[in-house]
Amino acid sequence: MGDSNYKHEEIEKKWQKFWQENQSFKAENEKSGTKEPFYVLDMFPYPSGAGLHVGHPLGYIASDIVARYKRHVGYNVLHPMGYDSFGLPAEQYAIQTGQHPAKTTEQNIARYREQLDKIGFSFDWDREVRTSDPEYYNWTQYIFLLFFNSWYNPDSNKAENIQTLISRFESKGSEGLDTKNSEPFSAQQWKGFSEKQKQDTLMNFRLAYLSEAFVNWCPALGTVLANDEVKDGLSERGGYPVERKKMKQWSMRITAYADRLLQDLEDVDWNENIKEIQRNWIGKSEGTGVRYHLTPNPSPQGEGDGWRTTSKDVNGDSRNEKKLDEGNGWRTKSEDSEGDSYENRNDEDNNVVNEIDHNQFYTTDGQLWNILIEKAKSMRTNPTKAEWILWQNIRNCALGHKFRRQHIIDRFIVDFACLSKMLVVEVDGDIHDLQKEEDEIRSSILSKHGFKVIRFRNEEIINQTNKVISQIKQELESLPTSYPNIQSHNTRIIVSEKKENYSKNEINSEKGEQNINPIKTDNSYTSPNTQDSSSPTNEINSEKGGQNINPLKTDNSHLTPNTQDSSSPTNEINLEKGEQNINPIKSDNSHLTPKTQDSSSPLSLRRGAGGEVIEVFTTRPDTLFGVSYLTLAPEHDLVLKITTPDRRSKVEAYIEYAKSRSERDRQTEVKKITGEFTGAYVTHPFSGEEIPVWVGEYVLAGYGTGAVMAVPAHDERDFAFAKHFGLPIKQVIEAPEGWDINKEPWCEKQGKVFNSDFLNGLEVKEAISRMIEEIEASYIGEGKTNYRLRDAVFGRQRYWGEPIPVYYKDGIAYPVAEKHLPLILPEVDKFLPTESGEPPLGRAGNWNYNPDKGVVANGDGYPLELTTMPGWAGSSWYFFRYMDAKNPTEFADRNALDYWKNVDFYVGGAEHATGHLLYSRFWTKFLFDIGLVGVKEPFKKMLNQGMILGESAFIYRADGENKLLSKNQVHNKKTHLIRVDLSVIDDAHNELNIEKIKKHPLYQDYKDFEFVTESNGKFIVEREVEKMSKSKYNVVNPDDICHEYGADTLRMYEMFLGPIEDAKPWSTKGIEGVYKFLRKLWRLFYNEQEEFYLSEEKPNEKEFKTLHKTIKKVTSDIESLSFNTSVSAFMICVNELQELKCNKRQVLEPLLILLSPFAPHICEELWEKCRHHGGISKVTWPEFKEEYLTESNITYPISVNGKTRAQITVPATAGKDEVEKLVLANEIVQKWMEGKTLKKFIFVPGKIVNVVV
């Protein structure tokens, strides 16, 4: 009989055809009988030009085993496959060869399909999808539009249609929402907004939105590069310089989902380590923001270490504190008349003030901003009656616009300011009659800043409130709305409405250093005599004379050590004589920042000396007193604004340098410490110390606020930086005995706090919460939760991706109408950026949009978006499309979605943990929120297959000689390695086939070389494990294996290689064993006459035991995804049956069913030979019966002191005492116990006996 040999190729073709013709694996979208649905999904393959290599099928085989197993145990199984067919490699290839990526993609897919078919997967090919197919990306674009038309409502904690946001704006303005980069606004204001203003505002809320983000820009290539396309600041392709550049980009607001993405990890059955990777990626951290105010003057101590302490005498204690007017409870306007704006201090009669001013001037100039703020707060808590009345009428957008009270503008505290209308309302006390001139100057300065100032008198407000209000209203309406790019933290501090008693904040400085206690200064301000703690007098003098007092101008370079502190007025005036500039801010810029001066954003107008605020986020507020410097990311907006002139060139050079550095490098090269001192200082919010501000590349712009407060004593990176630049290390947390804080930072979150004023004596944990309380109470910051997760960039400057369905009218982005989807990817002449640096779609001639007609020729409509979607767009939702893959009217029918729900079992690589697996979860949650799907998570259970690596082969060539050396013939010769293709070696024996290499076209250069072999005549190659890749000539193609050994062998061998989750190099060594196993199995069904023969006899005990042992092992192994051990179990089973010469139907048929998920073709064939029809794939799984495994005797290993010495066989029912007796009587045991006494007898029933002596 000719078929007694196992002919894999013939059999496999036959059954692949059978499955296809009978639609054996077609899934039905409805409940059929008692079958439950089960959805098995594979990682979406990208069809690369190299074809499928042996690493790809690893996961597919595992999932196929599960899918086939689930069919046997009675499920309706959905097991689809398709292609993630947009992507960079095809585009790269297109650029190089000019071939259209659609064409190469088509070819690659055809090849993938052919390869996949050969392996015998049970896919339902009717449901195939391709992301590059317009019928598919129609729905990707549709979902994009849903994102675009949605916002995240923090109140309902879910995504909602943008219409609900618009209604909300119409009824209550921006109240209750973080307006991000723009000012809060009222409902009336919203209604008055222009279309552009409205759209810009909505853009801050849309879940798909345009924003600025940093990218790797390569000017020479005119494109943006991925981090791995950049090596050492140069593009991998071409070697051109690459820089970090801010660019307008489409993004997805995944951060809105950060907390839910974190929380819902609890509900999925994934590996703990993948969950951990996602948790870390989301990076939730609890901490607090802390705002540091720039000192108004550059700190003068100039060069050197950039460190200075506030050592000058403050005399703060000498200030008299004047009580509030006790009569009526209101602060009187006259009381603060000199305090709220320093021009008032130009009171020549007030010598005392002047004198104090001088004194203060030398001491506290660095505190001005701080003092103003504290002053403002104090005034807020103690309003005059008129102020109070007015405030009640204008607060909470009562007039349709947000007002702030006691707001700092320039160096004034104005009474009320509406920033969106640039209107200032001042309330004049009696004293203002006496100083009209000063008021005019003040108004003039404010108007230079773009503010309109209107004034009311106390009694006007008190007696004619309504008239005043309507006057203000009129002013508001007449003024245009402005959108100052205000950093919200800059103003928030003034806006805060908390009524706190500050007295608890009293801070005493340590070590006799002077402490500027902002809180105390508050009170001191109420005293006319002592209030003038900063430099105003001198300022006013100069202003009167038309001098520009520009404290920032006080270059360090001008200063001698003796006059270092002084923004000394004398110097100023001399320097500025004759300049006649009364706008200190403008002159700041003109002087300090020639390059940015023209960037006259409203912010820069409003920025006063010291007005800048650096906000940091810290998780260790307990170490606040240990801060010795701040570090800004080189990209931080403030860097150039605060840098002093003498530092400018260095800082600029540093920023340039940092641009050339990738984020990866900046994080990795931790030993390379770089940075520059900006020359600027901030004031410590509690100690009042001046703290230098540095720039350092170790701070990344995208993390937190892009600024850190450095505590070298308790943070590794800060420590390294401080050591490198000689900055002070101030320990504030107790380290263990003997810990040298100057050698190593103490970073553990434990220990007692010291040197920290009110935190002294607290444990770290207590100190953290206490400090947050203090920070909040003092308006220095707010406790908050920070996420490391950043919004996901959703646009790429590439051709081969889904077009983003957006067009631009008057510079505003509008969605393409749904009826015009899909927006088909246009044809272009080249797949390169345009000459002007636009993305490739800029080359398309028909790429305009008419809202009625759809896509039209350029010039006939509005320009369409030119960037395309990233690779992860199409793969973020494909699992839903498979449920109803051909639906032409919906992305999937709701009944199908509800039937399949989510993926029951997903197999994918752990390398996607922070990409695909997170984005898919994000999109699923979004689709859930807007009611399109009924599940919150895409993948219930997941298996992460490890990567299969390649084993590259090399031969040695002797340098300068025409000789190739076998591995052990190199000796001490100088050689270099030549990569060789795996086709010219014997993989199992690492032996080079010299004849083959001489004929191989790649190696014609070497055909006449001398091949120096080993003494046995073999030429051995060098091997090295690398990623499997075409360019490394180490790709092993599954086709070759299928041809030689068959798909069943390939399937089982890939499973046999080891645990599916481990990465491992591919090696064909060992495949023989699996092949041999299948042939052995085949022969069990044939008799000695080589005829197919099964005995109908009842199996004996041993045969049943072998079978049921295997049923048990294989079933539990599949359930626990341990496929390698089930292959071993099959081998053991077949070996045993062969030894038993078992050919009984009752044993062999169940075995075929067990094996069929692993090796389906051979099992189908034998099953058919067993006279069954209709295929094995849906036959019921064999039932395991415990009774066949029960043993009457147990053999115990006996160890003495933990080492196995003997064995003993006892009845299974034997108890401890019985066993102990037998064991102690054992000859070998006695030998080992000789002369020793029994200490303990350990008996683990069914397991082991341990005798301890």
Partner RNA sequence: GCCCGAGUGGUGGAAUGGUAGACACGCAGGACUUAAAAUCCUGUGACCUUUAUCGGUUGUGCGGGUUCAAGUCCCGCCUCGGGUACCA
Tell me, by CB under 7 A, how many residues bind RNA: 101
**Distance of alpha carbon 867 from alpha carbon 838, whole angstroms:** 9
Contact criterion met (CB below 8 Å) for 994 and 984: no
Residue list 666-695, contact with RNA (CB under 7 A) = 667-668, 670
- For RNA, the closer of residues 1079 and 1102 by Cβ is 1079
Q: Is 228 in the site for RNA (CB under 7 A)?
A: yes
Bridge partners, residue 1092, by sequence? 1086
- For RNA, the closer of residues 869 and 883 by Cβ is 869
* Binds RNA by CB under 7 A, chosen from 244, 449, 912, 1144: 912
* Binds RNA by CB under 7 A, chosen from 138, 384, 1122, 1177: 1122
Residue list 22-61, contact with RNA (CB under 7 A) = 44-46
**In the numeric block, which tokens belong to residue 1171?**
């006279």
- For RNA, the closer of residues 548 and 1122 by Cβ is 1122
**Distance of alpha carbon 299 from alpha carbon 602, whole angstroms:** 26
Residue list 760-789, contact with RNA (CB under 7 A) = 788-789
CA nearest to 520, candidates 377, 331, 405:
377
Q: Is 1230 in the site for RNA (CB under 7 A)?
A: no
- For the bound state, the minimum distance from the C-beta of residue 1064 to RNA, rounded and expressed in Å, comes to 4
Residue 285 neighbours by CB under 8 Å, 6+ apart: 619, 785, 786, 787, 788
Q: For residue 784, give the DSSP letter.
A: E
* Binds RNA by CB under 7 A, chosen from 23, 474, 1135, 1193: 1135
- For the bound state, the minimum distance from the C-beta of residue 949 to RNA, rounded and expressed in Å, comes to 7
* Binds RNA by CB under 7 A, chosen from 49, 51, 89, 241: 89
Residue list 1030-1069, contact with RNA (CB under 7 A) = 1056-1059, 1061-1064, 1067, 1069
Q: Is 793 in the site for RNA (CB under 7 A)?
A: yes
* Binds RNA by CB under 7 A, chosen from 1, 434, 1225, 1244: 1244
CA–chain centroid gap for 762, Å, is 34
Which residue has 């950093």 as its token pair?
A: 487
- For the bound state, the minimum distance from the C-beta of residue 258 to RNA, rounded and expressed in Å, comes to 10
Q: Which long-range contacts (CB under 8 A, 24 or more apart) does 888-892 make?
A: 888/135, 891/139, 891/142, 891/143, 891/932
Which residue has 């951990």 as its token pair?
A: 276
- For RNA, the closer of residues 208 and 913 by Cβ is 913
- For RNA, the closer of residues 215 and 294 by Cβ is 215
- For the bound state, the minimum distance from the C-beta of residue 1131 to RNA, rounded and expressed in Å, comes to 4
Binding mask 161-200 for RNA (x = CB under 7 A): ----------------------------------------
- For RNA, the closer of residues 434 and 1244 by Cβ is 1244
Neighbouring C-alpha atoms within 13 Å toward the C-beta of 832: 12
Interface segment toward RNA; rule CB under 7 A; list 87-95, 368-376, 385-393, 855-863: 87-95
- For RNA, the closer of residues 569 and 1038 by Cβ is 1038
Taken in order 571, 575, 577, 579, the sign of the CA dihedral is negative
Residue list 205-224, contact with RNA (CB under 7 A) = 215-216, 224
Residue list 868-887, contact with RNA (CB under 7 A) = 870-871, 875
CA nearest to 25, candidates 10, 44, 38, 14:
38
Interface segment toward RNA; rule CB under 7 A; list 682-690, 707-715, 763-771, 864-872: 864-872
Residue list 278-297, contact with RNA (CB under 7 A) = 280-281, 283
Q: Where are the beta strands (DSSP E) in 861-925?
A: 862-863, 903-909
Residue 520 neighbours by CB under 8 Å, 6+ apart: 316, 506
Q: For residue 733, give the DSSP letter.
A: B
Contact criterion met (CB below 8 Å) for 284 and 262: yes
**Distance of alpha carbon 199 from alpha carbon 194, whole angstroms:** 9
**Distance of alpha carbon 553 from alpha carbon 1084, whole angstroms:** 96
**In the numeric block, which tokens belong to residue 945?**
């297959």
Contact criterion met (CB below 8 Å) for 1106 and 1140: yes
Upstream peptide bond of 692 is cis (omega within 30 degrees of 0): no
- For the bound state, the minimum distance from the C-beta of residue 272 to RNA, rounded and expressed in Å, comes to 6
Bridge partners, residue 677, by sequence? 694
* Binds RNA by CB under 7 A, chosen from 28, 195, 276, 313: 276
Amino acid at 309: T
- For RNA, the closer of residues 225 and 624 by Cβ is 225
Q: Is 396 in the site for RNA (CB under 7 A)?
A: no
**Distance of alpha carbon 1172 from alpha carbon 1178, whole angstroms:** 12
Q: Is 277 in the site for RNA (CB under 7 A)?
A: yes
Binding mask 814-853 for RNA (x = CB under 7 A): ----------------------------------------
Residue list 930-949, contact with RNA (CB under 7 A) = 947, 949
* Binds RNA by CB under 7 A, chosen from 183, 229, 335, 410: 229
Q: Is 545 in the site for RNA (CB under 7 A)?
A: no
Contact criterion met (CB below 8 Å) for 426 and 451: no
Strands 707-710 and 629-632, by their bridges, are antiparallel
Q: Where are the beta strands (DSSP E) in 79-137?
A: none
CA nearest to 420, candidates 491, 353, 362:
491
- For the bound state, the minimum distance from the C-beta of residue 808 to RNA, rounded and expressed in Å, comes to 18
Residue list 1194-1223, contact with RNA (CB under 7 A) = 1195, 1197, 1199, 1201-1205, 1207
- For the bound state, the minimum distance from the C-beta of residue 982 to RNA, rounded and expressed in Å, comes to 16
- For the bound state, the minimum distance from the C-beta of residue 222 to RNA, rounded and expressed in Å, comes to 12
Residue list 1140-1199, contact with RNA (CB under 7 A) = 1195, 1197, 1199
**In the numeric block, which tokens belong to residue 888?**
């032409």
DSSP H/E element including 85: none
- For RNA, the closer of residues 527 and 1067 by Cβ is 1067
Task: Tell me whether residue 1031 is exposed, middle or buried, using C-beta atoms within 10 angstroms of its C-beta: 0 to 12, 13 to 18, 19 or more.
Answer: exposed
Sheet holding 939-945, edge to edge: 75-78, 36-42, 903-909, 939-945
- For RNA, the closer of residues 722 and 789 by Cβ is 789
**Distance of alpha carbon 955 from alpha carbon 1022, whole angstroms:** 6
Contact criterion met (CB below 8 Å) for 652 and 678: no
Contact criterion met (CB below 8 Å) for 856 and 104: no
* Binds RNA by CB under 7 A, chosen from 520, 661, 798, 1023: 798
Residue list 966-985, contact with RNA (CB under 7 A) = none
- For RNA, the closer of residues 793 and 964 by Cβ is 793
Interface segment toward RNA; rule CB under 7 A; list 52-60, 133-141, 272-280, 676-684: 272-280
* Binds RNA by CB under 7 A, chosen from 227, 328, 470, 599: 227
Q: Is 988 in the site for RNA (CB under 7 A)?
A: yes
**In the numeric block, which tokens belong to residue 946?**
């490890």
Residue list 1080-1109, contact with RNA (CB under 7 A) = 1080
- For RNA, the closer of residues 245 and 809 by Cβ is 245
Interface segment toward RNA; rule CB under 7 A; list 332-340, 400-408, 427-435, 1076-1084: 1076-1084
Interface segment toward RNA; rule CB under 7 A; list 368-376, 413-421, 446-454, 1133-1141: 1133-1141
**Distance of alpha carbon 53 from alpha carbon 450, whole angstroms:** 67
Residue-by-residue DSSP string for 990-1013: TEE-HHHHHH-GGGGGGTTSEEE-
- For the bound state, the minimum distance from the C-beta of residue 718 to RNA, rounded and expressed in Å, comes to 13
- For the bound state, the minimum distance from the C-beta of residue 1054 to RNA, rounded and expressed in Å, comes to 10
Interface segment toward RNA; rule CB under 7 A; list 348-356, 360-368, 659-667, 856-864: 659-667
Amino acid at 884: D
